[in-house]
Structure 1
Amino acid sequence: MSSFVFPVLLVLFSLLLSEGFEEVGARNLTDLKCPTRKKNFAVMTGQTCQKSCEQRNCSKTRRCLCDGECGMSCIFMGLSCPWPMLINNAETRLTQDSHMFGDFMEVTCKSGYRMADGRETAVSRCQGDRKWSFTAPCEDILKPSSHCKPPPEIENGSHENGPYIAGREIHYQCNYGYRLEGTSTLLCQENGEWSHTAPTCHSVNCSRPPNIAQATLVAVHKSEYPVGTVIYYLCKKDFLLDGSNRVTCLKNGNWSQLPHCRARCPVTAQRSRMIYQGRKLWLYEIPGGLVHHGETVTFFCRSQNKTCSYTAESQCFDGVLKLPDCYEEPTYLRYHLYPKRIVSEIPAC
């Protein structure tokens, strides 16, 4: 093959690989749409994606460029990948004069060797994480088969990428809102077969949200709700919401923590004043004689020598406001005949 024809073929080969954007370089892709970054893509491939610039701007030292399957990313200006690059049983050469972001390297197996998928040549791209996209070694073609075919694709889920060599495990995971059933890990065996059948992904739904005492569900009409659905609770009049009124269907099929509707508390002390909302009040001065859930009322207690008073607090909890143990309700006669001698009116200790 002439020295002119081979570079032309190499360029054509690089363009054919652009379906997965493996070899789309640092160009801003005005003629090709850059893929949207997939969730957990970096975990499955080992590539470290840079900060996305699809919805935010980059710093002054970075440019918003397409980084293959990482999508539009903030790439450091002047970024380069290691060179020379040594790969077992292979020869490497740059297809241009530099090894900057988006540049290409050709990997060619030596005689008698092949890549795990049977190829002799591959094109690798300099990525935004300063690594080449393809650095897998070439294997001896005289050795027994030591790789597996790509594992089955599953609906509503994905698996890790290759190489699928013997002894390597690959992991499946389901998309958001789906639950994995079956074995999540498959092992590539020496015989070239996978250890298990691929798992399946099934949609996760929450059942109709439960009713809460003294609460109303807003616009709930279905028997099942997909993951991520948000429903709302409203408490009836005179009841206080304890918790968030917003409840979400979680990916385990359960609803997030439910709120409670708490009742107001009646104040049972009638013949002495108390401190409520920072003011010293008689019971009739508290609207309805009721305080809200969570509010605190301070009562007056008489000292042992009965000459002075001290305070003790009690908090309303869902309709119950306990009187402090030290509090004694003044008698009817003392309240009417000696009002200035009742516990709330004597000097403080």
Structure 2
Amino acid sequence: MERWLTLLLLFPVVFFSTVTSAKGCRRPQLNANINVAVDQMFFDPGVELALSCKDGYTPISGPRKIVCTTSGAWTATKFLCKPKLCPYPDAPSNGDLYYEDTVYQSTINYTCQEGYILSGSSTSVCQANGTWSTPVPECIAVTCGLPPIPEFGMIVYNTRVRGNTTDYGITGTYKCLPPYALFGDATAECMTSGTWTKTPECRRVTCSLPENIDRGYMSTNDQRDFDYLETIKYGCTGDYVVEGSLEIVCQQDGTWSEKPSCKAPCKIGIDRGRILYKGKKMWIGDFNPNKVLHKDIVSVWCMNNAKKCGYSVSTQCIDGRLVIPECYEEPSGVNYNLYPGSLPSEIQQC
């Protein structure tokens, strides 16, 4: 005993440094996805720590423990944790889904196609246990009730409708019973909101007796109001021709549609020569009476002096006016009566 006390007194520094040379370890700095079982900050040499993965992660490699060495460092480890995978999701029927990944904490967004409403959650998150937080939602078809019918009106659907509901996208056309006119959009549609487009109105519309047209007559002269869509016919007297619709109709705004007009016949303004009218070639003197109707076409003959040949040129009667082509030259009485074979209409044609 005395010997040991002597050694301790002679070599105190050496003995102390041997006892205190081993260092402790600070809490290890590990990947954020790795758990350490204890919460303390300092550890003695030789202490072992068990490693595990946090919720939502699974181990893939490396030893699952580390040891505090006398140098104050932890033994090396390649322990890694990767996020857990959720199964690949299915899109809802008549819907779509959008996601970037299927690992832990990934999110799916669900949508429905036009005409369908989402029933269930629109999002789902990949959980720590590798399952999705919510089931796949449903996309339920939008339906509407029957559309409202305006008073004095009706609707004609674009497809057959059964029962008291209609599907999204079904359309119909509103009509009013005469003498009522429709005001508003005539097309009805079942919308994504499950409601119909705005219902139009049916209002009574009348038109007063219209005036007659020049050189014409009407099918009635009744001094009364005419209902919406009632019609009146027009005609022209003599050789005047109707231009425009023969019939006018009482319109939605209480006015008549555009009235026609009567167009005058024309006289062919030549005294000598041939004409072509309605496929028939004749001398103007034989054309009796000298009158063609509005929009009728007449041809006369001109001379090509360079080639010594004749050619026909057409002109049209427009409301009493028929313009003779500038190339036409009225033959002299001598040529017309004595030498008709020399006229442009009779010689070789160009």
TM-score by length of 2: 0.45
User: Comparing both structures, which one devotes a greater share of its residues to strand?
Assistant: 2
Highest relative contact order (Cα 8 Å, sep 6+), 1 or 2?
1
Query: Which one has a bigger Cα radius of gyration?
Result: 2
